[in-house]
Amino acid sequence: MKKSPAGEEFGGVIGRTVEESTAWWPPAKFKQGAPDVVLVVLDDAGFAHLGCYGSTIETPNIDALAAKGLRFTGFHTTALCSPTRACLMTGRNHHAVGMRAVSNFDTGFPNMRGAIPRSSATLAEILRESGYATFAAGKWHLAPMSECSAAGPLTNWPLQKGFDRYYGFLQGETDQFFPELTIDNHFIDPPGRPEDGYHVSEDIVDRSAGMVRDLVSLVPERPFFLYLAFGAMHAPHQAPQRYLEKYRGRFDAGWDVAREEWFARQKAMGIVPGQTSLAPRNPGVKPWSELSADERAFAARLQEAFAAMLDHTDAQVGRLIDFLKSIGRWDNTLFMLLSDNGASQEGGATGVLDEAKYFNGIPENVAEAVTRLDDVGGPASHSNIPWGWAQAGNTPLKWYKQNAHGGGVRDPLLVHWPARLKDAGGMRHQFCHAVDIAPTVLEGLGITVPAVVAGVPQMPIHGVSLMPIFDDADVRMDRGAQYFEMLGHRGIWRDGWKAVSHHKSGEPFDADRWELYHLTHDFSECEDVAAREPARLKEMIDLWWAEADKHGVLPLDDRGAAALFRAAQRPGLPATRSRFVYYPPVSHIIADNCPSTARGWTTAIELDHPSSGGDGVLVARGSLNSGFVLYVRQGVPVFDYNDFHRHTRIVGDTRLTPGRHEIDLRVERTADGGADVQLTVDGAAAGAGHLPRLLFIVSTQGMDIGRSLSPVNADYTAPFAYTGKIMRVVFEVPRTPPAGEVRARARTEMSRQ
C-alpha cells in the first residue's frame, strides 16, 4: 500500500488525472456492532456497603446488575483513589506510572509524580485510536492539583488523556450541592442550586446521557466508552432531603448490630465462605453500648447521611441504565461498576460534621454537633462517618482505606453484559486487581494492546484479562503475584496466600511485623499463621521486595503527610509565591491554587463603583460551612469570617461613592491563634475587629473574585455578582508558613482521596 507525502497509507491509484486514478477511503477504525463500554467508579464504598454485598442500605438498581451479571468477591484495589484510578485507566501498577499516592504530591521520585506518563497510555487513548467515542464524567483526580487551575498546563486533564468530552470536577472531592465544575478544558458554574433541587450526582448522569445521546443520534454506528466516576461515597456525604428522611432511625441499633446483620447476609448470599470469621473491632472502635447518648445520636445521623447518599447514587445509576435501554444501547454494553478503595477512616473515632475541622486538628465537639443534627447531609454540613461505621462498611474485614489489609484493598466489582455473559447472577471468587480491568476491556472488544501509542513506546501491561472468568466460574487464572504498598503499609498476594504488614510511620521498615494469611480458607484475615509458616512467610517477604524493585515501588517512604506535602513544592507553583495579582474576570480558582490564608494576609482591591446598585461579592473563599467573604451590601463593604458556622463580621462605616476606590483588608495572625482585622477604604480606616481563631485550612472549596460559587453566610444568595468593575486584586501572604499550616494542608490532601 502506497503512502502519501504526509505518511498516510493510500489504497487507491494516483494517476496524472482523476480519470486515470482510483479513489480510496480508509476503513472505519471500529468494527460494526462493536460493544459499548461503561465503567462506573464509586469512591470510598466498602466491601459490604452495596445491598448485593450484604448491607441493608437500599441499592436496588445496583443489585439488579448483580442479579443479571457477575459479582466478584476477590477484586482488589490499591487502597487509595488516584492510584486505583491510574491502575484502572492503564492496566499498570500505580508506582510504575508515578501514582504512589494521591495526585496532589510530587516527592521528587519516579513513583510519585502525580501524573500518568505517556509511556502508559490510558484505556481512553487506546479506544479512541480504535474508533471509539470517549466520554468522562465526574471525579478525575489524575492530574497534579497544581496544574488544575485555568492556567494549566492542561497536559494531564481528561481531554489530553484520551477523552473526547469531559464534565466533572478535577480534584479529589467536591461539595455535592456547590461543586467546582469543569467542562472539557474550562471551569463553569453549576447549572442549579440546592433550592432548585440540584445535586452533582444527578448532573453528571444527565451530562453523560447527553454526550451519548449526541453520538447515537448523529453517528449511531460508532461505539462509545463512558467513564463515570461519582463523588459518592467520598465525603461530604450529602443527599436530597427526601433520601435523608428515608433513613431516619435505621441505624440507631449501632455498628455492632449492623456488622453482625450484614455479615450474616454475606454468608447467606455466598459473598463470603461459611467458615469466615468476623474480624474484631479495629483499634479505636468502641462497642456501641459504651458510647454516650450524644455520641450514638451523632454517629447514627452521620451513617444515615451516608446511606442516603448511596441510595441516591444508586438511583442515578438506575437512570443511566434506563437511558441506555431507551436508546437500544444496553444489551451489547459491557457495564462495570466498582469501588476504588475501602471505606474511609478520615472521619475519626466520632465522625465529623465539618470535615475541615479534621484538617485543622480541631476535634469534633459532639455536644455541639448534636445541636445541628438536622444539618447533617445538607448544604450546611461537610460530614464523614466514624471508624465504627467505616468498619461496618468493610465487613467482615480489618482496617480501612489507606491500609493494605482487606478493609483497604478488597472491594466490590460487578460486571453486566447481556450479549456476552451466560451465567446471570453468578459469583466469581478468583483473585483479581484493578490492573486487570483495562486488559479485560481490550480483550472483550477484540483490541490488541498497542506497542506504540502516539509515537511513544509503551511499557508492558501488568494486569491480565478476566475474560476467561466470565465464562468459567472455576477457571484458574494464570497470574503471578500482586504486591500492595500504601503509605508504608505493605502486602503481597500469591496463589491464595497473603503476607501483610501494618506500618507505623517513623519506625524502621525492617521492624515491621508481617502477618501471613491463607485467604483461600481465611477470607477476613483473622488467623495469622506466620508463626506456623516461617519459611513461607520469608518467601513471601522476599517476593515483595522483588516485586517492589520490578514495579518501581522503591524507595519506601513513610514520611508523614506534612513532609510529603513539603516535598511537592516546586518552583513556579502557587504555593511557592507570596504575592498574587488577579485581573478580573478570572475563572474559579480551586483550593490548591489559592493563596494561603493561614499566615494572615492582605487583600487590595481596585474597583470602579457604579452610580446605582453596586452590591455584590468582591472576594469569596469557601462555603456555608467555613470560609470568608468580602462583599458590598447597600454600598457598604462587609467582611465575614466563617469559622465553622461561628461568624465574625466587620461592617465598614464608609459608604462607597460612584467611581474609583481601593479597598484594603489586612488580617494579621496574633499570638492567641486568632487574628486582628483592619478594613480600609482609600487609605482611611473603615472597620476593625478580631478573629478568635484563624484557620490553617479555611475550606476545601476554592476562591472567586467578583462573585461567589457558594454562599459563605446567609446574607446573600450565590453568585451575588458585583455589579461594578474590579480592575485588580492583590493578595500578599507572609513567606514563612506556621508549622500548623503545613500539617493541615497535608491532612487535607491525604483525605481528599
| DSSP state string for 380-448 | T-B-B--HHHHHHHTTT--S-TTSSSHHHHB--EEEE-TTT--STTEEE-S-EEGGGHHHHHHHHHT-P
pLDDT above 70: residue 603? yes
Please state the rounded mean pLDDT for residues 731-748.
63
For position 571, what pLDDT does the model report? 60
Which of 130-139, 521-530, 594-603 shows the lowest per-residue confidence on average (mean pLDDT)?
594-603
CB atoms within 10 A of CB 498: 25
Q: Where are the beta strands (DSSP E) in 569-682?
A: 579-582, 600-609, 616-622, 627-633, 636-643, 646-651, 659-669, 675-681
Tell me the CA distances in angstroms from 585 to 198, 491, 662, 705, one per residue in order. Answer: 26, 50, 17, 7
Contact 553, 734 (CB under 8 A): no
- The dihedral through the CA atoms of 720, 721, 722, 728 has a sign that is positive
pLDDT above 70: residue 72? yes
- Residue 449 sits at the vertex; the CA angle it makes with 444 and 454, to the nearest 5 degrees, is 130
DSSP alpha helix (H) spans, 11-100: 60-68, 81-90
Cα(386)–Cα(349) distance, rounded to whole angstroms? 5
Cα(180)–Cα(20) distance, rounded to whole angstroms? 59
- Supply the Cα-derived Rg of the chain in whole angstroms: 27
Name the DSSP class of 476. P
Cα(439)–Cα(168) distance, rounded to whole angstroms? 26
Summarised one tens digit per residue, pLDDT across range 243-273 is: 999 999 999 999 999 999 999 999 999 999 9
pLDDT grade for 563, boundaries at 50, 70 and 90: low
H and E: helices and strands count for the chain: 16, 31
294 Rama class: left (phi>0) / alpha (psi -120 to 50) / beta: alpha
The packing angle between helices 437-445 and 81-90, to 10°, is 30
pLDDT grade for 564, boundaries at 50, 70 and 90: low
Summarised one tens digit per residue, pLDDT across range 319-363 is: 999 999 999 999 999 999 999 999 999 999 999 999 888 888 888
pLDDT above 60: residue 740? no
Cα(576)–Cα(735) distance, rounded to whole angstroms? 8
For position 567, what pLDDT does the model report? 56
Does 641 or 564 have the greater pLDDT score? Answer: 641
For position 7, what pLDDT does the model report? 85
For position 570, what pLDDT does the model report? 63
pLDDT grade for 543, boundaries at 50, 70 and 90: very high
For position 753, what pLDDT does the model report? 46
Q: Give the 3-state secondary structure of 110-143.
A: CCECCCCCCCCCCHHHHHHHCCCEEEEEEECCCC
pLDDT grade for 752, boundaries at 50, 70 and 90: very low
Summarised one tens digit per residue, pLDDT across range 191-243 is: 999 999 999 999 999 999 999 999 999 999 999 999 999 999 999 999 999 99
- Residue 138: strand pairing partners: 168, 229
- Dihedral pair phi/psi, residue 456, rounded to 5°: -110, 120
Cell reading at 563: 513532609
For position 6, what pLDDT does the model report? 86
Amino acid letter at 259? R
DSSP alpha helix (H) spans, 138-192: none
CA 721 to centroid of chain Cα atoms: 30
pLDDT grade for 721, boundaries at 50, 70 and 90: very high
Q: Rounded mean pLDDT of the chain? A: 94
pLDDT above 60: residue 742? no
Which of 84-88, 145-149, 232-236 shows the lowest per-residue confidence on average (mean pLDDT)?
145-149
Please state the rounded mean pLDDT for residues 357-373.
91
Q: Where are the beta strands (DSSP E) in 140-291?
A: 165-169, 181-183, 186-188, 224-229
Percent of the residues in the chain that have a pLDDT greater than 90, as a whole number: 88
Amino acid letter at 537? L
Cα(567)–Cα(193) distance, rounded to whole angstroms? 38
Tell me the CA distances in angstroms from 44 to 103, 378, 400, 562, one per residue in order. Answer: 17, 19, 9, 23
Contact 201, 313 (CB under 8 A): yes
Which of 393-397, 550-554, 589-593 shows the lowest per-residue confidence on average (mean pLDDT)?
589-593
Cα(42)–Cα(49) distance, rounded to whole angstroms? 11
pLDDT grade for 428, boundaries at 50, 70 and 90: very high
Cell reading at 535: 519459611
Residue 296, helix vs strand vs coil = helix
Which of 117-126, 223-232, 558-567, 601-610 shows the lowest per-residue confidence on average (mean pLDDT)?
558-567
Summarised one tens digit per residue, pLDDT across range 499-519 is: 999 999 889 999 999 999 999
- Residue 684: strand pairing partners: 681
CA 528 to centroid of chain Cα atoms: 33
DSSP alpha helix (H) spans, 270-379: 293-326, 356-359, 366-369
CB atoms within 10 A of CB 210: 15
Cα(277)–Cα(349) distance, rounded to whole angstroms? 24
Does 4 or 657 have the greater pLDDT score? Answer: 657
Name the DSSP class of 102. -
Cell reading at 462: 501488568
Please state the rounded mean pLDDT for residues 432-443.
98
pLDDT above 80: residue 747? no
H or E element that contains 268: helix 255-269
pLDDT grade for 561, boundaries at 50, 70 and 90: low
Summarised one tens digit per residue, pLDDT across range 179-194 is: 999 999 999 999 999 9
Please state the rounded mean pLDDT for residues 141-170.
95
Contact 176, 231 (CB under 8 A): yes
pLDDT above 80: residue 75? yes
For position 472, what pLDDT does the model report? 94
Cα(649)–Cα(446) distance, rounded to whole angstroms? 63
H or E element that contains 468: helix 467-471
Contact 357, 255 (CB under 8 A): no
Please state the rounded mean pLDDT for residues 609-634.
96
627-633/616-622 β-pairing: antiparallel
At a CB cut-off of 8 Å and minimum separation 6, what does 722 contact?
A: 607, 614, 615, 616, 617, 618, 631, 632, 706, 707
Amino acid letter at 148? C
This prediction's pTM: 0.95
Evaluate the omega torsion of the peptide bond into residue 153 and state whether it is cis, within 30 degrees of 0.
Answer: yes
Which of 103-117, 433-447, 617-631 shows the lowest per-residue confidence on average (mean pLDDT)?
103-117
Does 363 or 725 have the greater pLDDT score? Answer: 725
Contact 197, 206 (CB under 8 A): no
Q: What is the number of residues in the chain?
A: 753
